Amino acid sequence: PYPAYQRVRTVDPIHEHPYGFWFVSGYDDVSAILRAAMSVNDRLLEDGLVRQQFDDLDEGDGRVLALTMLDRDPPDHTRLRSLVSKAFTPRKIAELEPEIVTLVDQALDRMAEAGRTDLVETLAFPLPFEVISAMLGMPSTDRDRVRDLSGTLVLSLEAATDAETAKLITAASTELVGLVRQLIERKRAEPGDDLLTALIAAESDGDRLTDDELIAQVVLLYVAGHETTVNLIANGVTALLRHPDQLALLRERPELTANAVEEMLRYDSPVQMSRRITVEPYQVGDRVIPKGAFVLAALGSANHDERYWGADAGEFRIDRENARHHVSFGAGHHHCLGAALARLEGKIAIERLVSRFPRLALAGEPTGNGRSNLRGLASVPISVG
Ligand code: HEM
């Protein structure tokens, strides 16, 4: 499904782009870069177009958002991640299972009633969005607004951003930071048994998140919590419906569902790229990437590298033994903190969708969401009866 990646991987796997960034596309090189001693701090970039783009985004509350763990290096990163991990624990995630089952079944009821629906609108988007909104206690009256703001904010993760979009992103960050600030104030006044209360209280050796750090991590969890999982479900179900033999295999062997989710993550990566900045010259293959360079590690390409996966890398096979070796959740110390939650949502959604509707099928051509990094589908027409 990714001919351009295949070409660049074959012709120029460590590609120096004229815009001033490096595009690395092979599995071994991507895996090594994710684990290398590189930075995520855009201020370390030497001058260039990419640096300019980040400067544009850096105004106002963009500064607060630069405090997310995704944008910090150790030791800051280590401290932020360990404080958030105190609240966002594997046990808390496992406890969400009954709620996820209820949300999925409600979505499936709506599908059954309609007969023909858009998978994104009925299930792929609302599931992760409602789960993370509930975890963070976002009032339902603010959710539509948050959905729009988040959709604008994630454009900052795209490879090329023009000045007009940068302005929109800055305005969206300011408004979202404002909403989250109110949310935190309300939660301080009325603590509950939820993730946000736990984040506010999280403490390690007397150390706590400052207000701005707390806001930044909440925005990160919110956005990362749904803008990615929607792609897992929409891309994944689409892949399944386009491969009837694999759908039949899953019906025959439902115990393959967890592995099918891994193969969905590998086959059509919900996040296509991780970014890093070199802090010293970095040797990769026969090339040397200079210090202060912006490096894009192409996760979606690594997931299809024939040298790692073999000749059938381009095939969708839910029983692929090493599917779990994909790099869709990144690797190294920024490895996705929400991977267990995403896997749980994906597994429950796929399992129940497939078992409930024996005649599940695509009812039209899916349309793309127009993004290059969080590449996914804006709509997937399906029929269930
Ligand atoms: C980091 C992918 C779902 C929270 C990451 C990274 C990737 C990723 C690739 C690493 C970025 C880097 O190396 O620069 C995904 C995918 C998901 C998903 C594909 C769904 C299928 C979630 C969910 C949450 C979440 C549900 C939380 C509710 C985070 C956080 C980080 C992160 C907090 C930053 C970790 C750090 O910097 O230490 N994710 N993610 N993600 N993800 Fe996810």
Dump pLDDT digits (tens) for 71-82.
999 999 999 999
Closest ligand 1 atom to the C-alpha of 81? Answer: 38
pLDDT in tens, 75-102: 999 999 999 999 999 999 999 999 999 9
Neighbour tally for 140: CB within 10 Å = 9
Nearest CA to ligand 1 atom 12: 274
pLDDT on residue 160: 67
DSSP codes, 3-17: HHHHHHHHH-SEEEE
CA of 342 to the centre of ligand 1 (A): 9
CA 112 – ligand 1 centroid, Å: 32
To test the pocket of ligand 1, the residue of 228, 233, 303 to mutate (highest count of ligand atoms within 8 Å of its CB) is 228
Tokens 């090329």: give the residue: 160
Atom of ligand 1 nearest to the CA of 77: 38
317 confidence band (pLDDT: 50, 70, 90): very high
Q: Is the shortest distance between the CB of 330 and ligand 1 below 6 Å?
A: yes
pLDDT at residue 60, as a whole number: 65
User: Which residues, 6+ apart, have CB-to-CB distance to 100 below 8 Å?
Assistant: 127, 131, 344, 345, 348
Strand, coil or helix: what is 288? Answer: strand
229-242 vs 339-356: helix crossing angle, rounded to 10: 40
Residue 136: closest CA among 68, 73, 220, 69: 220
Give the ligand 1 atom nearest the CA of 335: 10
pLDDT number for residue 382: 98
- pLDDT over 70 (residue 296): yes
Are 274 and 24 within 8 A, CB to CB?
no
Q: At what angle do helices 163-189 and 211-227 cross, to 10 degrees?
A: 110
Nearest CA to ligand 1 atom 18: 228
Phi, psi of 297 (to 5 degrees): -90, 115
CA distances to 25, 155, 195, 252 from 2, in Å: 12, 22, 38, 29
pLDDT band at 164 (very low <50, low <70, confident <90, very high): confident
ipTM of the complex: 0.99
Q: What per-residue confidence (pLDDT) applies to 126?
A: 96
Residue 57 pLDDT exceeds 70 = no
What pLDDT is attached to residue 220?
Answer: 95
* Residue pLDDT, tens place only, 169-179: 889 999 999 99
Instruction: Report the nearest atom of ligand 1 relative to the CA of 275.
Output: 14
Cβ–ligand 1 distance for 328 under 6 Å, the answer yes
Q: How far apart are CA 167 and CA 58, in angstroms?
A: 10
**According to the model, what pLDDT value does residue 56 have?**
65
Ligand 1 atom with the smallest distance to the CA of 132 is 28
pLDDT at 281 > cutoff 80: yes
Distance CA 312, CA 304 (A): 9
Q: Which CATH class is domain 3-383?
A: mainly alpha
Name which residue sits closest to atom 6 of ligand 1, judged by CA.
336
How far is 115 from 385, CA to CA, in rounded Å?
6
Residue 53, pLDDT > 90, answer no
When pLDDT is cut at 50, 70 and 90, the band that residue 197 belongs to is: very high
146 residue type, one letter? V
Considering only CA atoms, which of 314, 313, 280 is closest in space to residue 295?
A: 280
Cross-strand partners of 118: 381
pLDDT digits (tens, 9 = 90+) for 134-156: 999 999 999 999 999 999 988 88
Confidence class of residue 230 from pLDDT cuts 50, 70 and 90?
Answer: very high
Beta carbon of 337 within 6 Å of any ligand 1 atom: yes
Within 8 A by CB and 6+ apart from 93, the residues are 340, 341, 344
- pLDDT surpassing 80 at residue 346: yes
The yes-or-no verdict on residue 157 having pLDDT over 90 is no
Rounded Cα distance between 376 and 134, Å, is 24
Which tokens is 261 given?
């989710």
Q: How confident is the model at residue 1 (pLDDT cuts 50, 70, 90)?
A: confident
Q: Which two tokens stand for residue 196?
A: 């946000």
Query: pLDDT band at residue 61, thresholds of 50, 70 and 90?
Result: low
What are 252-278's pLDDT values in tens digits?
999 999 999 999 999 999 999 999 999
Q: Supply the pLDDT for residue 277.
A: 95
Which sequence spans correspond to the domains of the chain? 3-383
Q: Do residues 59 and 169 make contact, with C-beta atoms less than 8 angstroms apart?
A: no
Residue 197 identity: T
